[in-house]
Amino acid sequence: NYSVFIRHHPVYHVGDAPKGFSVCLCGHIHDAWSTKWSDDGKVLNMNVGLDVNDLYPISKQEIIIRLDKEFKKRKDK
């Protein structure tokens, strides 16, 4: 249910994202954070790097679980 794109760097400004996407799977930031919204709140960045995931890749199912949780928190605000 998510429009996802993957790139090395996170999206800090919505202009950095392709149109129509709401999720960016990224790395580059190392262990600084696991998820972070873009400045305008339109794109959720998820750090899928090994350094924030116990040095193991995370599964597609785990990514979806984490996305569901973050979007629910956003909706509940």
Q: Tens of pLDDT along 21-55? A: 999 999 888 877 899 999 888 899 999 988 888 88
pLDDT of residue 15: 77
Task: Give Cα separations from 65 to 12, 17, 40 (angstroms).
Answer: 23, 22, 23
pLDDT higher than threshold 80 for residue 12: yes
pLDDT of residue 76: 87
Stretch (H or E) spanning 76:
helix 60-76
Q: What's the pTM?
A: 0.87
**Is pLDDT larger for residue 1 or for residue 62?**
62
